[in-house]
Amino acid sequence: MQEEVDFVTIVSGLPRSGTSMMMRMLEAGGIPPVVDHARKPNDDNPLGYYEFEPVKALKEDKSWVAPSCGKVVKVIYKLVYDLPANVNYRVVFMQRELEEVLASQETMMRRDGLDPDTIGRDILLQLFQTEVFEFRRWADAQPNIKMFYADYRQVVADPATKATQIADFLGSGLDHMAMAQVVDPNLYRNRA
């Protein structure tokens, strides 16, 4: 059972880094997700994407953010910069081997009929490394943001321990056992 909180829980990270899995975990633990189900489950995310379309328009409309205290919303790392500074956040940032992230993105692009080779893999790796480094430095300096870095591989390998750590970080009476039970190692398909 979740206690009253004065912050919005954010799940962030690179695309294909395990953010949907973490959203499922937090929902199972007792935090209501802010989602609209506009993006339907598919072969790439068979258990759902847990997305909320208004996140993409944060620069234009932030009105939904403050009322989301006590809830969890998935916000891609590039859009966390656009969250209003007058709201407190606890961010669970998913980290995953960049080779795995790229492999997963390439698989998804091919399924969608796109050519992942149009941008060089080395360029993407370098870009992601730089952007994630800059994001972490920026986020750690924000007074209204507390960060928890969750390694995807470790969460899949030992969900009980990671769920307990995340529940402690969020400090909101989460059911860490229920969180751990929704982790499906069979969905860890792109490995470095």
pLDDT category, 14, cuts 50, 70, 90?
Answer: confident
For residue 191, tell me if it sits in a domain. Answer: no
Ranges 22-26, 94-98, 124-128, 177-181: which has the least confidence: 124-128
Residue 153 lies in a domain: yes
Alpha carbon distances (Å) from 27 to 45, 67, 70:
16, 17, 12
**Is 2 within a domain?**
no
Rounded to an integer, what distance in angstroms lies between the CA atom of residue 182 and that of residue 20? 11
**Dist CA 123 CA 143 (whole Å):** 33
Assigned domain for 25 exists: yes
- Percentage of residues in the chain having pLDDT higher than 90: 58
Is 115:109 a contact under the CB 8 Å cutoff? yes
Number of domains within the chain: 1
- Write down the pTM of the prediction: 0.83
Query: Do residues 92 and 166 lie in contact, with contact meaning Cβ atoms separated by under 8 Å?
Result: yes
Please report whether residue 190 resides in a domain: no
Give the pLDDT mean for 68-76.
96
pLDDT digits (tens, 9 = 90+) for 21-51: 999 999 999 999 999 977 775 666 656 568 8
- How confident is the model over 15-23, as a mean pLDDT? 87
For residue 189, is it within any domain? no
Buried b / exposed e across 166-183, counting CB within 10 Å, b at 16+? bbebbebebebeebbebb
* DSSP state for residue 99 in the 8-state scheme: H
CATH number, domain with residue 129: 3.40.50.300
Please check whether residue 158 lies inside any domain of the structure: yes
Asked if the structure places residue 147 within a domain, the reply is yes
Q: What is the pLDDT of residues 139-170, one digit of tens each?
A: 999 999 999 999 999 999 999 999 999 999 99
Q: Which residue range is the domain that position 161 belongs to?
A: 8-184
